[in-house]
């Protein structure tokens, strides 16, 4: 066999660690490319840039720092977790664990690649918003995004990388990163003026974004004192320490080790948490019992296998956090809005002289009406893809449970969760217009987007990572596009109806309106959603059977 000598890259420097790190970054870049992460970054950059360009310049410039902090800097957070979980399915983590790479090197590579993509998204967004961008402003803006991204991605990897499933990872992430996001947002909006906010390391990144995007923009931000140099240095050092700690934590959480249970290379235990079979195995056992019954002559009648699976899937304690996440997230979101929105609106009015009451319908539409089905649809779709990844779906397909029944059940579950979530979140949020036939029709139409979200993801993604990429892209399309209706002229609104979630807005009180009666909109919207659901379900079925 011919051996290849390792070329000593002239001038590359850094010694063995630098060489390994470069190799890890190259590998990570290849992964990001192949799993569609780079394409997603480009798509989000285009979508958000178009949105900012469509908004009036002052509004776009006000929105920009929040958008860059919350969405752009957090771009890689969930994707990093998805990649970590999927690498466990593909056993790449175990294979990499037997190479000379140190455990922290793949983590640094992953954080770096996702951070570079986040910083790259920031530039067109800033340009589209009309913010004057000199070299200093670009450096501050992209630097702030990058600093925040490092912390968020590493923290999410640390918190969620060790979870068994994506819904389980979400449950760990939400409380873990809540402070890292809310405190800087309060700082950015000027709701809180205290140096104590810098105790949260992401606030330094948010401050850099604020500085970068407010240069030359009069009145774009509420007046805030310029921080003294020692404070900036201290904040930077604190943030750097936070980034290093988060990366080290992430390396520890994601490094393959047979010392702990749950890793594929770990031997089975006689007892304890690792003793039980994997979720997929348990699901297989459930369907297997149905098969066994059939084999003894007690053939299940009619839809019995589907009912057995449903019972197994939903009973508390037998599965992970799917239902909990699906039900809790909308309630949590609406409670946060109920508590946080009034003071935030008052603050915006006092700081900018802008009355946010006129923006209440689009805010309600974006954050509740369109967002809740996206949440429930995403959670269910990710469960679907996990079942495909771990082979459980293959086993189910060989059981009496029909594939179409499974697809219908999963998409129906998303619709039901969306309806329950909206029924709770709409009144709880405090943002909803008064009850009316229009609002009821809007809720029904919005809930119908839950199943479509599931089927659109399963029809386009072939693994969990691609599903996460699809979630991010479809969420932007499902929430962002319809809300543009408030800023677009009438003829363009009709074009937005190609996206089924937009139908829900047309009957929402406060919408500029198509003038159609709610019953007609409900019928047409449901029909259009159903057509797309059938197309997506067929494509999903074909993909699974091919």
Partner 1 sequence: MGDDAVRVDGLTVRYRGASADAVSGMDFAVSAGEVFGFLGPSGAGKSTVQNVLTGLLRRYRGSVRVLGRPLPDWGRDYHERIGVGFELPAAFGRMTARENLDVFASFYGGPTADPGRLLARLGLADAADRRVGTVSKGMRMRLNLARALVNRPSLLFLDEPTSGQDPVRAGAMREVIRSEAERGAAVFLTTHDMRTADELCDRVAFVAGGRIVAVDTPQGFKRRHGRPGLVAEYDGEDGRPRRRVFSASGADAGELAALVRSGRLTALHSREAALDEVFAEVTEVRL
Distance, CA of 315 to chain centre: 26
The residue (of 1 and 226) whose beta carbon lies closer to partner 1 is 1
Task: Count the Cβ atoms, other than its own, within 10 Å of residue 342.
Answer: 13
Task: Tell me the HSE value of 162 on the side-chain side, using a 13 A CA sphere.
Answer: 16
Site string for partner 1, 364-403 (x = CB under 8 A): ----------------------------------------
Stretch of 262-270, 396-404, 477-485, 495-503 contacting partner 1, by CB under 8 A: 262-270
User: Which one of residues 12, 134, 195, 269 is an interface residue with partner 1 (CB under 8 A)?
Assistant: 269
Query: Applying CB under 8 A, does 226 fall inside the site for partner 1?
Result: no
Smallest distance from partner 1 to CB 187, Å: 39
User: Which one of residues 139, 241, 258, 437 is an interface residue with partner 1 (CB under 8 A)?
Assistant: 258
Closest CA to 84 of 18, 159, 143: 159
Smallest distance from partner 1 to CB 210, Å: 38
The residue (of 31 and 333) whose beta carbon lies closer to partner 1 is 31
Closest CA to 68 of 140, 136, 135: 140
How many whole angstroms separate alpha carbon 76 and alpha carbon 222? 29
Stretch of 253-261, 356-364, 438-446, 526-534 contacting partner 1, by CB under 8 A: 253-261
Query: Applying CB under 8 A, does 317 fall inside the site for partner 1?
Result: no
Please list, residue by residue across 176-197, b when 16 or more beta carbons sit within 10 angstroms of its beta carbon and e when fewer do. ebeebbebbbbbbbbbbeeeeb
User: Which one of residues 9, 14, 46, 95 is an interface residue with partner 1 (CB under 8 A)?
Assistant: 95
Secondary structure (DSSP) of 371-405: HHHHHHHHHHHHHHHHHHHTTHHHHHHTSSS-HHH
Q: How far is CA 364 from CA 341, 356, 370, 426, 490, in A?
A: 11, 12, 9, 9, 21
Please list, residue by residue across 483-504, b when 16 or more beta carbons sit within 10 angstroms of its beta carbon and e when fewer do. bbbbeeeeeebeebbebbbbbb
The residue (of 100 and 317) whose beta carbon lies closer to partner 1 is 100
Site string for partner 1, 5-44 (x = CB under 8 A): xx---------x--xx--xx-xx--xx--xx---------
The residue (of 239 and 472) whose beta carbon lies closer to partner 1 is 472
The residue (of 100 and 489) whose beta carbon lies closer to partner 1 is 100
User: Which one of residues 10, 135, 225, 272 is an interface residue with partner 1 (CB under 8 A)?
Assistant: 272
Query: Applying CB under 8 A, does 218 fall inside the site for partner 1?
Result: no
Smallest distance from partner 1 to CB 260, Å: 8
Closest CA to 422 of 403, 406, 441, 404: 441
CA dihedral for 515, 521, 524, 528, sign (positive or negative): positive
Angle at 512 between CA 511 and CA 514, to 5 degrees: 95
Query: Is 465 within 8 Å of 32 (Cβ atoms)?
Result: no
**How many residues bind to partner 1 according to rule CB under 8 A?**
45
The residue (of 230 and 272) whose beta carbon lies closer to partner 1 is 272
User: Which one of residues 182, 281, 291, 463 is an interface residue with partner 1 (CB under 8 A)?
Assistant: 463
Query: Applying CB under 8 A, does 271 fall inside the site for partner 1?
Result: yes
Query: Applying CB under 8 A, does 3 fall inside the site for partner 1?
Result: yes
Quote the tokens at residue 183: 């405190």
The residue (of 4 and 301) whose beta carbon lies closer to partner 1 is 4
User: Which one of residues 291, 462, 487, 514 is an interface residue with partner 1 (CB under 8 A)?
Assistant: 462
User: Which one of residues 39, 136, 264, 427 is an interface residue with partner 1 (CB under 8 A)?
Assistant: 264
User: Which one of residues 50, 96, 351, 488 is an interface residue with partner 1 (CB under 8 A)?
Assistant: 96
Smallest distance from partner 1 to CB 390, Å: 12
Query: Applying CB under 8 A, does 90 fall inside the site for partner 1?
Result: yes
Helix axes 437-460, 403-429, angle to 10 degrees: 140
User: Which one of residues 136, 195, 241, 257 is an interface residue with partner 1 (CB under 8 A)?
Assistant: 257
How many whole angstroms separate alpha carbon 348 and alpha carbon 281? 52
The residue (of 13 and 270) whose beta carbon lies closer to partner 1 is 270
What letter would DSSP give residue 300? P
Query: Applying CB under 8 A, does 545 fall inside the site for partner 1?
Result: no
User: Which one of residues 11, 268, 302, 316 is an interface residue with partner 1 (CB under 8 A)?
Assistant: 268
How many whole angstroms separate alpha carbon 375 and alpha carbon 398? 30
How many whole angstroms separate alpha carbon 251 and alpha carbon 245? 10
Closest CA to 185 of 289, 70, 34, 335: 70
User: Which one of residues 9, 12, 18, 91 is an interface residue with partner 1 (CB under 8 A)?
Assistant: 91
The residue (of 34 and 404) whose beta carbon lies closer to partner 1 is 34
| Binding region for partner 1 (CB under 8 A) | 1-6, 16, 19-20, 23-24, 26-27, 30-31, 34-35, 90-92, 94-102, 256-260, 264-272, 462-463
């Amino acid at each position: 066999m011919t051996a290849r000598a390792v070329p000593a890259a002239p001038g590359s420097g850094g010694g063995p660690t630098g060489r390994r790190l470069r190799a890890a970054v190259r590998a990570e870049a290849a992964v990001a490319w192949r799993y569609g992460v780079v394409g997603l970054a480009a798509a989000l950059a285009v979508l958000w840039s178009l949105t900012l360009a469509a908004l009036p310049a002052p509004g776009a410039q006000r929105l920009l720092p929040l958008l860059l902090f919350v969405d752009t800097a957090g771009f890689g957070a969930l994707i990093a977790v998805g990649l970590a979980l999927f690498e466990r399915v593909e056993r790449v983590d175990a294979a990499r664990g037997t190479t000379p790479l140190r455990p922290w090197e793949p983590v640094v590579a992953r954080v770096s690649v996702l951070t570079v993509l986040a910083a790259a998204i920031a530039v067109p967004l800033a340009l589209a918003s009309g913010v004057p961008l000199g070299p200093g402003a670009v450096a501050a803006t992209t630097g702030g995004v990058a600093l925040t991204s490092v912390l968020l991605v590493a923290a999410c990897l640390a918190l969620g990388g060790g979870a068994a499933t994506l819904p389980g990872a979400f449950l760990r992430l939400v409380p873990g990163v809540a402070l890292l996001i809310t405190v800087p947002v309060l700082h950015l909006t000027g709701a809180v003026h205290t140096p104590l906010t810098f105790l949260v390391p992401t606030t330094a990144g948010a401050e850099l974004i604020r500085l970068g995007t407010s240069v030359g923009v009069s009145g774009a931000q509420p007046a805030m004192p310029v921080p003294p140099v020692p404070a900036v240095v201290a904040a930077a050092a604190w943030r750097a320490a936070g980034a290093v700690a988060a990366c080290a934590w992430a390396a520890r959480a994601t490094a393959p080790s047979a010392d702990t249970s749950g890793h594929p290379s770990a031997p089975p235990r006689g007892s304890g948490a690792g003793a039980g079979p994997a979720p997929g195995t348990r699901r297989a056992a459930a369907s297997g019992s149905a098969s066994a019954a059939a084999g003894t002559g007690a053939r299940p009648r009619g839809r019995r296998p589907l009912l057995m699976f449903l019972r197994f899937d939903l009973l508390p304690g037998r599965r992970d956090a799917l239902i909990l996440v699906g039900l809790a997230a909308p309630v949590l979101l609406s409670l946060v809005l109920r508590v946080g929105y009034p003071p935030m609106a008052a603050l915006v009015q006092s700081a900018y002289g802008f009355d946010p009451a006129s923006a209440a319908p689009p805010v309600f539409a974006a954050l509740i009406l369109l967002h809740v089905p996206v949440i429930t649809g995403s959670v269910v779709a990710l469960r679907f893809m996990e079942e495909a990844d771990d082979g459980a779906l293959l086993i189910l397909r060989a059981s009496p449970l029909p594939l179409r029944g499974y697809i219908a059940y999963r998409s129906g579950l998303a619709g039901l969760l969306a309806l329950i979530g909206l029924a709770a979140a709409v009144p709880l949020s405090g943002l909803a217009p008064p009850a009316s036939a229009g609002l009821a029709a809007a809720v029904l139409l919005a809930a119908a987007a839950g199943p479509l979200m599931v089927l659109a993801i399963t029809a386009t993604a072939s693994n969990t990572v691609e599903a996460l990429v699809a979630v991010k892209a479809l969420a932007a399309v499902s929430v962002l596009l319809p809300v543009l209706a408030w800023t677009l002229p009438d003829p363009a609104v009709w074009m937005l109806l190609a996206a089924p979630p937009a139908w829900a807005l047309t009957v929402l009180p406060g919408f500029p309106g198509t003038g159609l009666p709610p019953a007609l909109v409900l019928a047409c919207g449901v029909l259009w959603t159903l057509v797309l659901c059938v197309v997506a379900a067929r494509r999903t079925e074909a993909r699974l059977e091919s």
